[in-house]
A = this chain, B = another copy of it.
Amino acid sequence: MKNTNIPYKIYLSENEMPKQWYNVKAFMKNPHPPFLNPATLQPCTKDDLRPVFCDDCIDQELNDTDAYIDIPEDIRSFYKTFRPSPLVRAYFLEKILDTPAEIYYKFEGNNTSGSHKLNSAAAQAYYAKKQGLKSITTETGAGQWGTALSMAAAFYGIDLTVYMVKVSSEQKPYRKEVIRTYGANVIPSPSDTTEAGRKILAEHPGTGGSLGCAISEAVEQAVKSDSCRYVLGSVLDHVLLHQSVIGLESKIALDKYGVRPDTIIGCIGGGSNFGGLVAPFMGDKLQGKNEIDFIGVEPASCPSLTRGKFVYDFCDSARTTPLAKMYTLGCGFMPSPNHAGGLRYHGMSPIVSQLYHDGYMRAVSVRQSEVFDAAVMFAKCEGILPAPESSHAIRVAIDEALECKKTGKKKTILFGLTGTGYFDLAAYKQYNDKTMTDTIPTDEDLAQGFATIPDIPQNRA
């Protein structure tokens, strides 16, 4: 039953905003296997995680049973500075595509971080402050996560050190400057502030750094002090929990207008945006309440779901983190540097991996050049200049709508528009100059990556 009086944008009123996050794990028949302590290969306990993460985040990470978890009032208060985000009916895109499909998108880019990352940054900075900690550390590559966390740290009044991949801090000096403006300390990584950094610098004096190394430095810095913890922007269950606010708001807005999505599409790198967007809809599917077609869209250059293995692997390339059972290209897999934007992670959220493995969702991989075709078409008719990451979802939403045009089916499509491309204009320049190319890993490239997956008993089953 469709309501034909849908406005262009649907904003919830503030009292309609979610007061609880949605924990999809409570509805999974197969909760994902536990993280393993890399030293013992035994399931991680709270005590294993306590020196690294905030206590509340660990509780959330290990909670497989509670479907709803309260959002503290102080987080809801900060959420009000940038939420609710609009659910937009893409009338102009539909018109240009001349499709019978109805297309909606949930736009998470209307905040200074330019992405959905702020949803979890807010929660994690708050919990750190609540625990009485003095400071937090993190790493950032493209810079959206670092920006989001610097905003949250400024709001709650807690010190933040961001290890920023050196080459990014040089190529994106303005991202670095936003983070500094919010008062955070930005250290190009590798640095001489940690053992891990000094080791890399000694071995590779001129290196531009890597996300793996930045993670190692941030973790090392955090565990040094009892009043400091490390904060991560994707992959982990508690991050997906915080991001469920995206799906909850979408669901409330759609329910209010009597719209039921047939297809839900999100881009996937570490999985936080996709996991958050689909959470409550997926929970319903797991309970047999809907048959939504969930599509995760990944870059052909880093195809962890479509071409990866479902095994235990390290979450970082420096092989220091706990092991997670996930789809992975191998912690040593290096995605082609010519790929614009994020979605370059070797692994995938354990929750998303399990749902994919159990057949509750599909995955599609797309090439960068066709992603930018979609991005520019979208920008011109819908106004918003999308982030390259988000444009992966736009590409597949357009493809699905064009398929509807062929078949005459009136599907209702919802996709996640995770962020804006204001800091990705070097990539748009490549596209405008027609110098953008696609790189797809060969089977040999993948084999090299797979060879870096740890050879442990759990992977030999």
Given A178-B425, A181-B432, A182-B379, A112 and B81 contact (CB-CB distance below 8 Å): no
- State A381–B80 Cα separation when bound (angstroms): 12
Interface residue A420 (Cβ < 8 Å from any Cβ of B): yes
Chain A interface size range: 35 or more
Given A92-B81, A422-B422, A385 and B181 contact (CB-CB distance below 8 Å): yes
- State A173–B428 Cα separation when bound (angstroms): 11
Contacts of A78 in B (CB 8 A): 383
Closest to A114 in B: B422
Please tell me which one of the listed residues B180, B376, B379, B423 contacts residue A112 in the complex, with CB atoms under 8 A apart.
B379
Contacts of A111 in B (CB 8 A): 383-384
CB proximity of A57 to chain B, nearest CB, Å: 22
Interface residue A183 (Cβ < 8 Å from any Cβ of B): yes
Contacts of A376 in B (CB 8 A): 181
Interface residue A177 (Cβ < 8 Å from any Cβ of B): yes
- State A78–B381 Cα separation when bound (angstroms): 9
Given A9-B80, A92-B81, A112 and B384 contact (CB-CB distance below 8 Å): yes
In residues 403-441 of chain A, which contact B (Cβ within 8 Å)?
420, 422-423, 425-426, 428-429, 431-432
- State A112–B107 Cα separation when bound (angstroms): 13
Please tell me which one of the listed residues B385, B422, B432 contacts residue A423 in the complex, with CB atoms under 8 A apart.
B422
In residues 329-387 of chain A, which contact B (Cβ within 8 Å)?
376, 379-385
Interface residue A110 (Cβ < 8 Å from any Cβ of B): yes
Interface residue A11 (Cβ < 8 Å from any Cβ of B): yes
Inter-subunit contact A382/B178 (CB<8 Å): no
Interface residue A155 (Cβ < 8 Å from any Cβ of B): yes
Closest to A430 in B: B177
In the assembled complex, 19 residue pairs joining A and B whose CB atoms fall closer than 8 Å, in A order, are A7-B13, A7-B14, A9-B14, A81-B382, A81-B383, A92-B155, A111-B383, A111-B384, A112-B384, A155-B380, A155-B381, A173-B429, A174-B425, A174-B429, A177-B429, A178-B422, A181-B425, A182-B379, A183-B380
A interface residues with partner B (beta carbon < 8 Å): 7-9, 11, 13-15, 78, 80-82, 92, 110-112, 114, 151, 154-155, 173-174, 177-178, 180-183, 376, 379-385, 420, 422-423, 425-426, 428-429, 431-432
